[in-house]
Amino acid sequence: MQLSVSEYAEARGISRQRALALINSGQVKAKRIGNSWAIDRVEVNQRPAISRPLSPKMARLLIGAMSDESVELNAQERHFLYRYVERLHSEASPLGLLHSWLRSRQLRVLDVAANPADIAEVSSDVRVIASGISDSRAGLSAAREFEGYVAAFALEGFLRDNLLLESDAPNVRLHVVEQLPPAPIALGFVIADLIDWSRPREDGRALELLDGVRWPR
């Protein structure tokens, strides 16, 4: 079911101007129909942002820390990274905070549909790297869904060749980035992607993975 901007704003308890700002910033996915926006009802239940996103560079450093990567940091980067880690440890809602901070890890998120019988073929395409619910470390059975990262320059061809289309019932989630991360993808990306689903199963697994992170000291 599609909602107008005003209907979405009323459902979320925010102003229409705030709803438009969320759409324009990419935090709420909407389709342009003529001069109006149409918003899928599922967006009402998406996790709200509680903080501004980190810079793309700092988001990548935090993801690296979550992945136990050895990254060279200058004094300023180390100072800020430690501050973010300390805030996460004291935050009552670490998932909400990470969701807000790590939005800058990607250019945008695209939900499309594939024939369920073609999911295995989609996941084996060299232009995409599995993550989130499709990464084995998530421990989730997602045979009928796929989630991964694709570079912006390869997106059009990837969609065309795999017959991926916009749908009211998508089963493929693509995180569009400027440069494809190396495979296998870092654990921090997997955790961030699970958090973005804002579903109990994914939240629970994200918390389990976070508990196992060896944060820098």
- Tens digits of pLDDT across the chain (217 residues): 688 899 888 877 788 888 888 888 777 888 888 888 988 876 776 676 678 899 999 999 999 999 988 777 888 888 998 899 999 888 888 998 999 999 999 998 888 999 999 999 999 999 999 999 999 999 987 778 999 999 999 999 999 999 999 877 889 999 999 999 999 999 999 999 999 988 889 999 999 999 998 887 7
Residues 111 and 100: their CA atoms lie apart, in Å, by: 19
What pLDDT, on a 0 to 100 scale, did the predictor assign at position 70? Answer: 76
Q: What is the pLDDT of residue 207?
A: 94
Which residues make beta-bridge pairs with 130?
148
d(CA 200, CA 196): 11
pLDDT at res. 45? 63
Per-residue confidence (pLDDT) for residue 202, from 0 to 100 = 92
Question: What is the pLDDT at residue 127?
Answer: 97
Which secondary-structure segment (H or E) carries 23? helix 16-24
Q: Going along 84-208, which residue ranges are E strands? A: 108-112, 128-130, 146-151, 172-177
Exposure string (b/e) for 57-72, b if CB count within 10 Å is 16 or more? ebbbbbbbbbbeeeee
Return the ∠ at Cα 25 (arms to 22 and 184), rounded to 5°: 115
Beta carbons of 163 and 169 less than 8 angstroms apart: no
The predicted structure's pLDDT at residue 51 = 82
d(CA 37, CA 39): 6
pTM: 0.80
Q: C-alpha 88: how far from its chain's center?
A: 18
- Please tell me the distance from the alpha carbon of residue 98 to that of residue 104, in angstroms, as a whole number: 11
Question: CA of 54: how far to CAs of 11, 57, 74, 195, 200, in Å?
Answer: 28, 8, 17, 16, 25
